[in-house]
Structure 1
Amino acid sequence: MSIDVTTIGFTKTTAEDFFSRVRAAGVRKMIDVRLHNTSQLAGFAKSDDLAFFLKTICGAAYVHEPLLAPTEEIMTAFKKEKGDWNVFQNDFMGLMAERKVESHFRAEEFDDSCLLCSEDKPHRCHRRLVCDYLNGKWGGKLSVRHL
């Protein structure tokens, strides 16, 4: 049984485009995998506003899941200190293994969900790494599409 999961970033897009993509994908639950979800810089993606917009526009639930976010130290080393992506990737994958995130969730909980982060593209974003990690632990059950 395949579990349909999407991912999305909110930067470099308009609210109209963002919510149109989410609605068209049939997302029932947005899983926010950001460490910080209340920054003024997040605009329409601040946690309380996002929860309201998702419910009103898309009929979707909102959940913040910091267990699927990097630590402040890992983020600082990569973003602020302009660290190497491969180091970030190894550190974050190690963190998820240390946290044993696969044991905190069931694959079915991700069905028709969308993992949210800030990066506009998934290539160098931890939301993709979360999906890769969980797929490795759950035998490839997740069918992932990046919006």
Structure 2
Amino acid sequence: MVKLYTIGFTKKNAEKFFDLLKSNEVNKIVDTRINNTSQLSGFAKGNDLKFFAKELNDINYQHNLDFAPTKELLSKYRKGDITWEKYEQEYLDLLDFRKISKKTDIKNLHKNCLLCSEHTAEKCHRRLLAEYFQEVNNDVEIIHLT
């Protein structure tokens, strides 16, 4: 069974965030954000997160833009030009277009944690991505860290 975690950093302080990763024995953070350098990200800015994860918990870090939505798609949803349901479909179509299921060895995702900013996974592409992997391989267990 492949354990695949997801986490959002919004509404979490660094202590809670890193404790969740450590207590669940995460071995790699996979950053699924388009932009991982925003000043609003605080401790979760790409280079800082990579450093803290390794130093505090010996967790590796990878920023994977193939897993991120396009800027245009995200903007259409945030502006209200498309519904969440339309966003979901367009994002899943994008994953197929990018051939993510063929490019990704799902077994290598064991104890990886998909990262985005949204506090909960309900309306976040990290949930859609995790479920996409689960659909490709039903041996994937999804655990949302909150």
Give the TM-score normalised by the residue count of structure 2.
0.96
Q: Which residue of 2 aligns with 1:141?
A: 139
Partner of 2:22: 23
Which blocks of at least 5 consecutive residues in structure 2 are unaligned? Answer: none
The alpha-carbon deviation at position 83 of structure 1 amounts to 3.6
Aligned residue runs from structure 1 range 12-51, under 5 A: 12-51=11-50
RMSD: 1.0
Instruction: Give the whole-Å Cα distance in 1 for the aligned partners of 2:139 and 2:78.
Output: 31
Deviation at 1:82, TM superposition (A): 6.1
- Supply the distance in 1 between the matched residues of 2:44 and 2:21 (Cα, whole angstroms): 13
Distance across 1 between alignment mates of 2:30 and 2:114: 5
Paired residue type of 2:144: H
Give aligned-pair identity as a percent.
37
TM-score w.r.t. length of structure 1: 0.95
The residue aligned with 1:115 is: 114
Runs of 4+ in 1 over 2 A off after TM superposition: 80-83
Distance across 2 between alignment mates of 1:142 and 1:36: 27
> Contact 1:30–1:115 at 8 Å: present in 2 too?
yes
Mapped contact 1:107–1:141 kept (Cα < 8 A): no
* Paired positions, count: 145
3-state SS of the aligned residue for 2:134?
helix
Contact 2:9 2:118 in 1 (8 A): yes
